[in-house]
Amino acid sequence: MAPNPTKQKEWRARLLQGRLLEYILPGMPEVGLITQAGETVCRGFTRVVIGDRGPYLEFSREQALLDRFSVPKNQQYRLTPAWKDKVYYVEYRTPSGVMIYEQLRTVSYANYKVGMFYVSPWDVELVLVSKAKTTHTPVILSIVNGPKPEEHR
């Protein structure tokens, strides 16, 4: 029996969601998301959203470190009055090129929330930071293993 790529994707997403939810239970250390280049993009996240384009990590404006990413020049049209009500998201990039987007409108293929930010789990790693003062290096956990899927490139 040949492997079913659709089923593999579905199971991978379910495993990812289960693993991530372990880290956001009450009483767990604070969580940050960092890029492979070491850029922290947010402190905490609210949920994992799994849509037709795979899983994404959702975080709020309050959790976002907005000074760590910017809108690329070729995407700035999305902020203009002529386009703001037509586009579905504003695209941001970290200095290393990781895409983060802010949802402006709802879509039919995923339960993205207007005003929330999203990043691919293949582009970031979890950093667990103790609330207590410590000199220890934060623990970095890779969220996913394996190659990045096409839809997240």
Please indicate, yes or no, if residue 152 is contained in any of the structural domains. Answer: no
**Is position 151 within any domain?**
no
Query: Looking at the domain assignment, is residue 105 inside a domain?
Result: yes
* The one-letter amino acid at 40: T
Q: Which residues contact 67 (CB under 8 A, 6 or more apart)?
A: none
In a domain, 153, yes or no: no
CB-based contact 114:105 (threshold 8 Å): yes
**Amino acid, res. 54:** G
pLDDT tens-digit profile of 81-97? 999 889 999 999 999 99
Condensed to tens digits (0 to 9), the pLDDT of residues 61-77 reads 998 999 999 999 999 99
Residue 120's domain spans which residues? 5-145
Sign of the Cα torsion 150, 55, 148, 65 reads: positive
Residue 123 domain flag: yes
User: Could you read off the pLDDT of 95-118 as tens digits, one per residue?
Assistant: 999 999 999 999 988 889 999 999
Task: Count how many Cα atoms sit within 13 Å of the Cα of residue 12 in the half-sphere of its side chain.
Answer: 20
Q: Is residue 74 part of a domain?
A: yes
The answer to which of 28-37, 39-48, 82-91 has the lowest mean pLDDT is: 28-37
Q: Is the residue at 17 inside a domain?
A: yes
Position 71 in a domain: yes
Q: Which residue has the higher pLDDT, 11 or 40?
A: 40
Read off the pLDDT of residues 8-27 as tens digits, 9 standing for 90 and up: 466 556 655 555 555 454 44
Name the range with the highest mean pLDDT among 32-46, 53-67, 97-111, 137-151.
97-111
Q: Taking Cα atoms as reference points, which of 5, 8, 4, 27 lies closest to residue 16? A: 8
Residue 40 structure tokens: 């922290």
Question: pLDDT averaged over the chain?
Answer: 77
DSSP 135: -
Burial of 19 (0-12, 13-18, 19+ CB in 10 A): middle
> Which has the higher per-residue pLDDT, 51 or 130?
51
Number of domains in the chain: 1
